Structure 1
Amino acid sequence: MEKIFLAGPFKALVNKKTNAMSPIEIARFMTIIVHFENKGWTVHCAHRREKWGKEFMTPEECTSVDFSEIKKCDYFVAFPGSPASPGTHVELGWASALGKPIILLLEKNKEYAFLVQGLGEVSPVITIEYENSIDPSIVENAINTIKK
């Protein structure tokens, strides 16, 4: 069974009044999660694990769990965030240092850090640009390409 670690901005997307991400942001992650889980894959996503912001883990807990899950994953899929998500950028560093194949999901017409744009120089990376929402079959095609 193949395993994906799905990363992206989190704390910045949590509404301070509701203590949760918006339905639109949750759907962006769930579309990918459901697609791959329906195919029998395992998808680790801290956002879902922490109830979309309602049950944040402590910094010590989430750091340890996320690093462990990245070590175990077959593919690292990330929305790096624009503006940049500091946590996602740390996870991208871990994934690239561990040699994990990376699928970057970049929203069109947004600015991304140079080190994100150049990540393919040090790790296997496929970049997918999208507008508004991402088609998970495109992510699956990228994974199929990167694993060849």
Structure 2
Amino acid sequence: MDWSTGELNPCRKNYLQTLRQAFIDRGHAVFNAHQNEQWGRGWLAPEVCTPADFLAVSNADVLCVIVGEPPSPGVMVEIGWASALGVPIVLLQEGDSVPALVAGIGEVTSTTRCLLPEELTEQSLADILTTVEKAAAAQRTPRVTEPVAGYPKTLLPYGYEAAQQPIDHV
């Protein structure tokens, strides 16, 4: 975002529109929060955009997100929703690293990570589309159903082992 204007940087907007249009041209329905908020010209109130974004993730066959540097807080929330719902995820990374919990998201739901090219060519767009289409075919089910080996407390409530005596205050 260009916070001085409140709108998305024109180069970034063009990049995202090109990527979005490639999906549409291939016959896919696309929900894009930037598009939904007019690329920064029509910000929606949190009580409007949050349910809209959640509904989009809930109904998605795949969540394809760009993990920028720094990562967008909104994208991090969407990744959390998708993983909780078992929606397959494609992380298009702008750099080599992602936040630690995002790096491990493949242990929770089907996840594909790939580097996002600086420039979108016909070949790079085709590669991205193929990656996302393959990911969308993955089974929509959370994969963590029992404690993780080597860390059996994973599915227990926080403080479970520490609560040896009744807690009389919080």
Relative to the length of structure 2, the TM-score reads 0.73
Q: Unpaired runs of 5+ in structure 2?
A: 139-170
Tell me the residue number matched to 1:16.
3
Q: Quote the offset at 1:133 in angstroms.
A: 3.3
Tell me the residue number matched to 2:129.
140
> How big is each residue's C-alpha offset from its partner over 1:114-133, in whole Å with a ceiling of 9 and x where there is no partner?
11111111110111113423
Tell me the residue number matched to 1:122.
108
RMSD of aligned residue pairs (Cα, Å): 1.5
> How big is each residue's C-alpha offset from its partner over 1:55-95, in whole Å with a ceiling of 9 and x where there is no partner?
00001100011001111111100012221211110110001
2:77 alignment partner AA: V
The structure with the largest alpha-carbon Rg is: 2
Q: 1:82 to 1:108 in 2, by over 3 A?
A: closer
Pick aligned residue for 1:69 from 56, 70, 87 = 56
> How big is each residue's C-alpha offset from its partner over 1:94-141, in whole Å with a ceiling of 9 and x where there is no partner?
0111111111001134x3201111111111011111342353212211
Percent sequence identity is: 32
Pick aligned residue for 1:60 from 42, 47, 54 = 47
- Runs (4+) off by over 2 Å: 16-19, 133-136, 143-146
Distance 1:42 1:136 in 2: 16
Distance 1:108 1:19 in 2: 25
Tell me the residue number matched to 1:10.
none
Q: Is contact 2:67–2:94 with CA below 8 Å preserved after alignment?
A: no
Q: Quote the offset at 1:40 in angstroms.
A: 1.9
Pick aligned residue for 1:93 from 52, 67, 80 = 80
* Structure having the larger proportion of residues in helix: 1
Q: Is contact 1:108–1:131 with CA below 8 Å preserved after alignment?
A: no
* Structure with bigger RCO (C-alpha 8 Å, 6+ apart): 1
* Structure having the larger proportion of residues in strand: 1
Q: Quote the offset at 1:16 in angstroms.
A: 2.7
Aligned length: 134
Tell me the residue number matched to 1:28.
15
